[in-house]
């Protein structure tokens, strides 16, 4: 079956759009309306007048899309595509963490479930975490679930103490200091770009740190010709494709061949087709939880900062 043709036909018939995270299998771009990072896709979900949003990403991303467009049907091709980091915290262990550090505002990385967001004060993404923490203007914050993103923010802000939960991304933690040292030797004229979910030592050795979208924008604008990328493979695949298509004459190298998020790769053209055809795997969220979680995300979106 020509899945690309059939999916595009279904999208028209059903007034549906497909939002695709840049860690997805690259062939999904052929049927996507928007491809980008989690913040950009949430904003597109909030803006669209489509009736159906199919989210090619992981569970928390589809949940965020649903929170920002409650009257729409949001579908996820594979309901088992969770984010390992998001699943490291639940309401119970969040309560314990808060009880250990009472009366401190909680900043919640968007890589978390709606239930967890509902118990936090404000949301952030990897592109605006520093600005979100700064905006609170308080001496202490709790940061969940990613201890590495929290530590990265701490390294940039001196006037606030950031107490982090002990979550992490197993995919980004596969990037080791030795990989950076090896890349420097092998590609001495390359710029190294890293995601803040990486080990702090890796981030310190990189030339630039940013969200997936920031990494892609930096690479596109730079006059350098060679880049080593310390984030998920999907970003490298897209940069190399765009370089070829748009004649940038640039080369993008994945820091180590194992930097693949297995859950992100659970979506493919076949399960996207089937999900859209049957309108199955719909995301639903309890009304009370949704109201509180929306508040957490909207506080971030309402901040007057460039990346909010």
Using CB under 6 A as the binding rule, whether residue 108 contacts ligand SF4 is answered as no
Distance of closest approach, residue 177 Cβ to ligand SF4, in angstroms: 19
Q: State the binding partner of 233 from ligand 13P, ligand SF4, none, CB within 5 to 8 A by kind.
A: none
- Give the residue with the Cβ less far from ligand 13P, 10 or 212: 212
- Going residue by residue from 162 to 201, which x/- string records binding to ligand SF4, judged by CB under 6 A? -------x-xx------------------------x----
Q: Are 74 and 65 in contact (CB under 8 A)?
A: yes
Q: Which is nearer to ligand SF4, 148 or 273 (CB)?
A: 148
* Out of 48, 78, 111, 154, the residue judged to bind ligand SF4 by CB under 6 A: 111
Q: How far apart are CA 169 and CA 175, in angstroms?
A: 11
- Number of helices followed by number of strands (H, E) in the chain: 14, 12
Query: Which residues here bind ligand 13P, judged by CB under 6 A?
Result: 37-39, 83, 111, 125-126, 169, 197, 211-212
With 0-12 CB in 10 A as exposed, 13-18 as middle and 19+ as buried, what is 181? exposed
For ligand SF4, which is the closer residue by CB, 35 or 261? 261
For residues 83 and 272, which CB has a smaller minimum distance to ligand 13P in the complex?
A: 83
Please list, residue by residue across 18-57, b when 16 or more beta carbons sit within 10 angstroms of its beta carbon and e when fewer do.
bbbbbbbbbebbebbebbbbbbbbbebbeebebebbbbbb
Q: How far is the CB of 165 from ligand 13P (least distance, A)?
A: 16
Q: Which does 254 bind (CB under 5 to 8 A by kind): ligand SF4, ligand 13P, none?
A: none
Residue count of the chain, please give it: 308
Q: Under the criterion CB under 6 A, does residue 232 sit at the interface with ligand SF4? A: yes
First to last CA, the chain: 41
Instruction: Return the half-sphere exposure (C-beta side, CA atoms, 13 A cut-off) of residue 253.
Output: 18
Cα of 259 vs its chain's centroid, Å? 15
Report the nearest approach of ligand 13P to the CB of residue 36 (Å): 7
CA atoms within 13 A on the CB side of 1: 12
Nearest distance in Å: CB 263, ligand 13P = 10
Label residue 5 left, alpha or beta by phi (over 0 means left) and psi (-120 to 50 means alpha).
alpha
Q: How far is the CB of 104 from ligand SF4 (least distance, A)?
A: 24
Is residue 50 within the footprint of ligand SF4 (CB under 6 A)?
no
The Cα angle at residue 208 between residues 111 and 36, in degrees rounded to 5: 45
Question: Which residues form the interface with ligand SF4 (CB under 6 A)?
Answer: 58, 83-85, 111, 169, 171-172, 197, 232, 261, 263-264
């Amino acid at each position: 079956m020509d899945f690309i043709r059939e999916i595009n036909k279904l999208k028209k018939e059903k007034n549906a759009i497909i939002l695709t995270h840049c860690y997805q299998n690259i062939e999904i771009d052929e049927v996507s309306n928007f491809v980008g990072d989690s913040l950009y896709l949430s904003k597109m979900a909030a803006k669209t007048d489509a009736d159906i949003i199919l989210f090619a990403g992981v569970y928390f991303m589809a949940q965020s899309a649903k929170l920002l467009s409650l009257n729409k049907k949001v579908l996820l091709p594979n309901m088992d595509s969770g984010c390992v980091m998001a699943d490291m915290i639940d309401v119970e262990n969040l309560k314990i963490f808060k009880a250990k550090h009472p009366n401190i505002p909680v900043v919640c990385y968007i890589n978390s479930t709606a239930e967890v967001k509902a118990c936090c004060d404000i949301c952030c993404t990897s592109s605006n975490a520093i600005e979100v923490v700064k905006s609170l203007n308080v001496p202490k914050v709790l940061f969940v679930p990613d201890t590495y993103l929290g530590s990265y923010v701490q390294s940039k802000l001196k006037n606030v103490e950031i107490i982090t939960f002990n979550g992490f991304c197993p995919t980004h933690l596969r990037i080791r200091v030795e990989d950076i040292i090896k890349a420097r030797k092998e590609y001495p004229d390359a710029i190294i770009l890293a995601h803040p979910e990486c080990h702090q030592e890796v981030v310190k050795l990189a030339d630039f740190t940013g969200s997936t979208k920031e990494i892609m924008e930096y690479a596109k604008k730079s006059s350098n010709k060679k880049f080593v990328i310390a984030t998920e493979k999907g970003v490298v695949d897209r940069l190399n494709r765009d370089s070829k298509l748009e004649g940038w004459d640039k080369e993008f190298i994945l820091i180590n061949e194992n930097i693949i998020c297995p859950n992100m790769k659970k979506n493919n053209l076949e399960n996207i087709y089937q999900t859209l055809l049957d309108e199955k795997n719909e995301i639903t969220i309890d009304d009370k939880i949704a109201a509180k979680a929306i508040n957490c995300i909207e506080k971030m979106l309402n901040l007057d900062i460039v990346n909010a």
